Homo-oligomer: A and B are copies of this chain.
Amino acid sequence: MEKKYNLVTFGEVMMRLSSPSASRVAESDVFNKCAGGSELNVAAGASILGAKTAFITSIPDNFNGSYVRGKIREKGVFDEYVLTDESDDARLGIYYYEFGASPKKPTVVYDRNASSFSKISLDDIPEEVFDTAEIFHTCGISLALNKNLNSVTKALIRKFKEHGALISFDCNFRANLWSVEEARAAVTEILPLIDIFFVSEETNYHMMGRTGELEDIMKSYSSDYGVSLVFTTQRKVKSPKTHDFTSIAYDAAADKFFTEKPYLDIDIVDRVGSGDAYCSGVLGGLIKHSDTLTALQYGNAAAAIKCTVPGDMISTDKRELESIIKEHNSDGPKREMNR
């Protein structure tokens, strides 16, 4: 490895506060805490596969910031570019989460305005970081949060690109942050800079406003904007407790599509971060194996496993991940237990 990190990501890390299991936020006297944020989740997942990763963000200089820094480190993500906001009104963004049970849906309430991250400036970020990354990853949420972040995020993408990093980008459309039209324009603006593009099946049609066959749409990102790899996830939500999941990849260099049969009847423990886990599996797979199908398999398995563990960040190890991939692709008898 010539660069210091295989993967550097940029985004907000929030504290997630959720009422335990089936209880209501409105009735519970306890919150479970965890740390999460789309781009951090990606770095954390990729590090499990052996990638060396770092995360750029800004957190407050108080015990909430310390909590989050501990979690970043614990996950094997290097924190040297996690900036500390020492201002008086430094705050950590929060999101509140309540689990679903059919017909009640999972519910998210954001309280991330005026967070330390929302005020980050390009000048805060040390110039040296741009030389450290083989791949730089961010997502649509960072573009959407506010004007400042929109321009900082775009500047970072350009800077990393200039210093030779591959640019990875996940659309991650959030209707509560911006409109379909704003999102489409912003993503379209940066598409020419993107090497690895993550866009869910639904986002292709809805936010990106494409029509026609899925494969044609995926291919168009390469033909129109020069994207090297396009990954499109396919999730079927059978109930808040059961999902199916797979994905399709388009590899422009080979002009080939890759997919595998879906993971069926995934037991949903905590669905949050499953899309990020997918990106982390794909990127980790690419870093370690440089093979699109293998990367997609890591992505699918990571997305499925994430659903079975609590928290925003995937928790697994390479051995488990690979044994799940292996069994998913085997026709033999399944063991009931690892023992």
Chain A residues with a Cβ under 8 A of chain B = 17, 21-34, 62-64, 66-67, 70-71, 73-76, 89, 91, 94, 96, 98, 100-109, 111, 113-114, 174-176, 237, 239-241, 263, 265-267, 269-271, 301, 304-305, 307-311, 315-317, 320, 324, 327-328, 334-339
Contact = CB atoms under 8 A, between A and B. Distances in A.
- Chain A to chain B: the 6 pairs with minimum beta-carbon distance, closest first: A26-B66, A101-B267, A101-B308, A25-B63, A74-B74, A107-B338
A314 to B, nearest CB: 10
B63 A104 contact: no
A41 to B, nearest CB: 14
B91 A111 contact: yes
14 contacts: A17-B17, A24-B63, A25-B63, A63-B98, A66-B317, A70-B75, A74-B74, A100-B337, A102-B266, A106-B337, A107-B338, A108-B339, A113-B114, A240-B336
B33 A103 contact: no
Nearest to A177: B339
Given A22-B309, A26-B315, 5 more contacts: A22-B270, A26-B67, A102-B266, A102-B308, A114-B114
Question: What copy number does this chain have within its complex?
Answer: 6
A304 B103 CA distance: 7
Which of A26, A103, A267: most chain B Cβ within 10 A? Answer: A103
Contact of A24 (B22, B27, B33, B315): B315
Contact of A64 (B25, B106, B241, B271): B25
A265 B239 contact: yes
A30 B33 contact: yes
Contact of A63 (B26, B74, B328, B339): B26
A22 B73 contact: no
A71 B98 CA distance: 19
B64 A22 contact: no
A216 to B, nearest CB: 22
Interface centre among A26, A100, A239, A263 (most CB of B within 10 A): A26
Nearest to A243: B336
A244 to B, nearest CB: 11
Contacts of A335: 105
